[in-house]
Amino acid sequence: MLTTQNRIIVLAVGLFIVTQTLIFASIPMGNNKEPLTVLVKNGTGLTEIADILKDNGLITSSSLFILCSLAYRGKLMAGEYELRKDMSILDIVKKLGRGERNIYTLKILEGHNLYNIAETAERSGIVGGNEFLRLSKNRAFLTHLGITEDSLEGYLAPDTYYYSKEVEIEGFIEGIVKKTFKNLAKDDIKRRMGELELDIHKTLTLASIIEREAKMKEEKPVISAVFHNRLKRGMPLDADPTVVYGTRLFNQPIRRADLSAHTPYNTYTFPGLPKGPICNPDRNSIQAALNPAPVDYLYFVSKNDGTHVFSKDVSDHNRFVALYQRAKNAKKR
């Protein structure tokens, strides 16, 4: 049994060890302020984390690092971290313990297509644009997601997403696609798709055309009605945005020759829907696709102010086309 004197000695020794440990753990490796990017993936153990830090010259003692991590019960968060050699072990442990990792933002705007999103993902530092496009058309990945078509076009729900690199990019994209499927799994949406004899792919395809044609939320159900009416009559949709998507000439004005270009997206050359979505539609466009306005319009033309004029017969439509085309040309002079 320890005497009072021995207890004091043991306590003093323990206090000395703790004090010395904290002193050593608070000494930086050096004075280099150059940031080093360190990635700790999900499932990486403490010993492996210590090895990664040691390999990057950020710590000298794995044991000391592991000991200090007990302040967070040994539970350090995975992620991509910006660390420096002028940081002490305590600084590094604190950063990993609090999860102060790099977070990347991907904002998918309604109406943006895969090519727009690829550029955004690259600018945001999430993934290279070419890598994103390759993955978005990877057959095995699409099958894993439950998509039977040939790309992710239309399946990336518009929203703002936050990404941390301990997650594989495939997992990040999968989460976005799951949101789309979740939105379309709602009872009212499933019921309407059944009533209109539309599946998910056709719904997203029609919604994507509405998204690209409509500038005003209020006009979406009316534009939807035009397309539904034309589909019922076996008429071509004559939608310019589908032509543009087929030619991939996104930043150029549509040409007369484009209207006869042979692509599976040219709705001037065949009746029915194109091969697939031409962009990623928002909820309003999806709702409009499933709930067209009760009107019998077959045509619409832009009034050059974000709104459209609608008509039931081709003679009225042609008159409006001429009227607003002249107004558009007059503005250019």
Q: Residue 333 has what pLDDT?
A: 43
For the record, the structure tokens of 174 come out as 């999968």
For 80-119, what is each residue's pLDDT tens digit?
A: 999 999 999 999 999 999 999 999 999 999 999 999 999 9
Q: Three-class SS of residue 31?
A: coil
Domain ranges of the chain: 25-98, 104-184, 209-297
Determine what percent of the chain is predicted with pLDDT higher than 70.
89
Q: Residue 175 has what pLDDT?
A: 97
For 26-35, what is each residue's pLDDT tens digit?
A: 677 677 889 9
Q: Residue 25 has what pLDDT?
A: 62
For 115-124, what is each residue's pLDDT tens digit?
A: 999 999 999 9
Contacts of 299 (CB under 8 A, 6+ apart): 226, 310, 311, 312, 313, 314, 316, 317
Across the chain, the runs of DSSP E, i.e. the strands, are: 36-40, 79-83, 104-108, 159-163, 299-302, 308-311
For the chain, list residues with pLDDT below 50.
Answer: 10, 12-18, 333
For 144-156, what is each residue's pLDDT tens digit?
A: 999 999 999 999 9
CA–CA gap between residue 7 and residue 13 (Å, rounded)? 10
For the record, the structure tokens of 202 come out as 């056709």
Mean per-residue pLDDT over the chain, rounded: 91
Shortest CA distance to 230 belongs to which of 279, 299, 163?
Answer: 299
DSSP letter at 77?
P
Q: Residue 31 has what pLDDT?
A: 78
Which CATH number does the domain 25-98 belong to among 3.90.1010.20, 3.30.1490.480, 3.40.1160.10, 1.10.8.60? 3.30.1490.480
Shortest CA distance to 74 belongs to which of 96, 102, 100, 52?
Answer: 96
Q: Residue 198 has what pLDDT?
A: 97
Q: Residue 53 has what pLDDT?
A: 96
CA–CA gap between residue 291 and residue 147 (Å, rounded)? 24
